[in-house]
Structures are given as structure tokens and as C-alpha cells.
Structure 1
Amino acid sequence: MRMKHLLIADDDLHIRALLRHVLLREGYRVTEAEDGLAADKLSQQERFDLAILDVMMPGLDGFTLCERLREREDIPIILLTARDQLTDKEKGYLHGTDDYVTKPFEPEELLFRIKALFRRYLRTSNDRIRMNRIVIDRKTAEVTDGDTVFLLPLKELELLSQLAQFPGRVFSREELIRLIWGADYEGDDRTVDVHIKRLRQRFSAYEEDFSIETVRGLGYKIEVPGR
């Protein structure tokens, strides 16, 4: 499993040292920035899994940095502040933060919040399945390439989602019938073939992004280049 990479942005050297010690001990990879501008630059050069941002920083404050990060990445963000003002918290959430921790804080509490955010984002990410340009959003029942929204019948959407969740895994027709149509379905299992054919036709221009492969004698699987 890839080590999670965390960005710490705080102009207080002692806070950064404390966070570095705690997070490294927990097995996270840590990159530090001494102000908002440096953090903004780092976020454009590297990929981070979570960001911890001080609100009051020179160059670029935490609110603005949070907003910029949110425009580029869908990652958990925690704001740190010395103030415990309701208006500041409201401002933080309006700028896109996920959580808000007031200084001084207990390191263990921060760790709990980090782990909780990773669990929340894992569940959320499972609702958005990406196959290069194609993204399936199971919450909104939409499939898009970033510009075009594909309106799929429900069973086609469920079939595509089921295969896309597990690229490379082979599903038999019987398994797909049970998962998509239900154990009490009385129709022919060849209905799977019909739906697969429709999906292939619908996404024939996206073969570089994913392909639905037939595994003779077994069933179907999705292959996603780069995964």
C-alpha cells in the first residue's frame, strides 16, 4: 500500500515540528511549507492525500489556500487556527475545508480526525469510479467524460459500475445476473450479453480509456489502461 503523503502549511516552526513528529510516527509521509505561497507552489508540483493548513500565514492565508487546493484536488483538508470563533469556522467551511482544529490541540485528537477523514473520503471515492476520462458517479447516476454526460438506462449503469469497480476481475454471467438483476430474475442470462453489447457501442470512442473484455467460457471484465 502506498504511503499517504500529507502537506503541512504553518509559519510556526514549533507546530510544524510537532506535526512532523506525530505524523511520521504514524507512518505518513510529510512535506512542510513555511507559508501559504510555498504550500500553493508545492501543491502544484506534488500529489498530496491530505492537507493541514494554518489559517493565519504570510503570503497566502489558509482560507485562500484551501480554496485553491479545492479547485485542483479533491483531498481532505484540515484548517488550524488559534481562534475559536464561530464566524471563522463558518468561513473555513465556505472555503472548502473538511474539518477545523483550534490551537492548542492534542496530537491524538488531530490523528483521530485525519483517520476519520480518510475513511469518509474512501467511502466517497467508491461512489465515483474513474476510468481515465470516463467517470461514473453512482450518487447522481451520471457517467461523464468531463464534457458530455451519458444518460444510461439503469441496468446498463449498474452493470458498468459493477465491472468498473473491479478492473481486471472476471465476472460470470450468472454472477452479474445475481448482482444486477437479482437472484429471483427469471429471464435468460444472455440479457447480460445484450447489455454488454450496448455498452460497447455507447463507448466505442473511448477504447483508450477502458475496454469490456470477453473471457471465453467465463464471462466479462473491464480493463483500464494504467491501472
Structure 2
Amino acid sequence: MRILIIEDEQKMSSYLHKGLTEASFTVDTSGNGRHGLFLALHEDFDLIVLDVMLPEIDGFEVLRRLREQKQTPVLLLTSQDGVDSKVKGFELGADDYLAKPFAYAEFLARIRSLLRRAPRTTRDFLFVADLEIELVKRRVRRGNVRIELTAQEFALLQLLAERQGEVLTRTFITSQIWDINFDSDTNVVDVAVRRLRAKIDSPFDRKLLHTVRGMGYVIEDKS
């Protein structure tokens, strides 16, 4: 099973990473809220260990944004042991809460308890016509042709494919992929879409990624 630790205290992060790895988990780490949220949204994890006090975006905000799209189990870690802090965490969608300092044995027991309760995802693939997106291994094919994408290109393709047939505005795409709001006149989304289209559409007769003038982009089979 794969676990993401979002913790800015290097000593704590290393300690938890070592313990969970020795317990046979696959562990990824992030040291700030913005990067951690990006990983949480665009990678598949069985559980997320989330510190509340983080740089750039705090843990509560990471949790709020995560719950808009995913229900990955989350264990909050914090030095704030007050009732109000706990209530806020649970109201935002935390599955469990552990105050620092804590005993590692309790931490591991809570991790295992959450994993036993969590439903496992059954969706491994997304399909748009002959375009096949393998989510876990992050592989893309059209027919028998393997398509190599960067991490950002894959995230953009996944976002479009998960909302197949729905026109996504540039503002929405930037908020989901880059987690920031660009000025409306920027062409960063257009450039990213153009690069993705060059890989998944241009070499093929059937076009799937379409521009909706004045609105945004949509991926669908219009043939």
C-alpha cells in the first residue's frame, strides 16, 4: 500500500518514512502544502498523513481542497490538541486525528485501522474512444501506440478524461493543475493543451481534444 506524508519538519518526516517503510508500506513525502496537495490530487495513495502547520498552504486548506475531488483517507497530525482544532479537522473530512508528540506504536495502529476501513478503488483505467489511460502505472496508449507524457501533461489529460464531454474553462484547469489562479489573458493553458494535443491527437485521424471558442476545452469522441 502507498502512503503520502505531507510534513514540513524534516526530522519527523524522516522518522515516519523510515518506520512505515520498515512496516512494508510504499511511502512518498512532501515538505509543503502546495506540493503535497498536487501529489494527493494527481497520484493514487491509499492514505495520507497530513500535518496541519505547513508552509504555503496549511493542512486544513489542503484537506478542504482534497475533499472537493477525492476521498482518500487522511490522518491529521498536529501540535494543536484543542477541541476546536479537532472539530475543524473532522468537519473538513479528516478520518482520524493524532496530536504531537505521539508514540509511534499508536501512530502505526491508527494507520492500519484506517486502511482496514477504507474502500479500495476499483478504477484503474479511463477510456476516450481508442485512448486508454492507465491511472496507477500512468501509461497512455492510442490503439497500439504508446504515448509518453510528462507528469503535468498526464495530470491535464486525466482531468479532462475524468470529465469527458464536459467543457472545462481555463480558470478551472489552472486551479486544478497548477493550483493557482492565472490572469485571464495568460496563454499557459493554451500552451499546455497544444503540447498535449500534439501527442494524443495530431498523429491520429480521429481527434479527441477540442477547443470550445470563448469557453475552454473538452475531450470527447465526436465521430
* Structure index of larger Rg: 1
Aligned counterpart, 1:7: 4
What value does the CA root-mean-square deviation take over the aligned residues?
2.2
Select the residue among 49, 72, 75 that pairs with 1:75. Answer: 72
1:114 has 2:111 as partner:
yes
Select the residue among 81, 87, 90 that pairs with 2:87. Answer: 90
Higher share of residues assigned helix: 1
**Superposed displacement of residue 44, structure 1:** 3.1
Aligned counterpart, 1:36: 33
Please give the alpha-carbon distance, in whole angstroms, between the structure 2 residues aligned to 1:25 and 1:121. Answer: 22
Please give the alpha-carbon distance, in whole angstroms, between the structure 2 residues aligned to 1:131 and 1:48. Answer: 13
**Superposed displacement of residue 72, structure 1:** 2.1
Gaps of 5+ in 1: 134-145, 147-227
1:105 has 2:102 as partner:
yes
Aligned counterpart, 2:191: none
Matched residue count: 127
Gaps of 5+ in 2: 127-162, 164-223
Query: Any idea what SS the aligned residue of 2:68 has?
Result: helix
Distance 1:34 1:130, change over 3 A: closer
Please give the alpha-carbon distance, in whole angstroms, between the structure 2 residues aligned to 1:91 and 1:111. Answer: 23
Give the TM-score normalised by structure 1: 0.52
List structure 1 segments (4+ residues) > 4 angstroms apart after TM superposition: 128-133
Give the TM-score normalised by structure 2: 0.53
Please give the alpha-carbon distance, in whole angstroms, between the structure 1 residues aligned to 2:95 and 2:34. Answer: 21
Identity of aligned residues (%): 37
Aligned counterpart, 2:62: 65
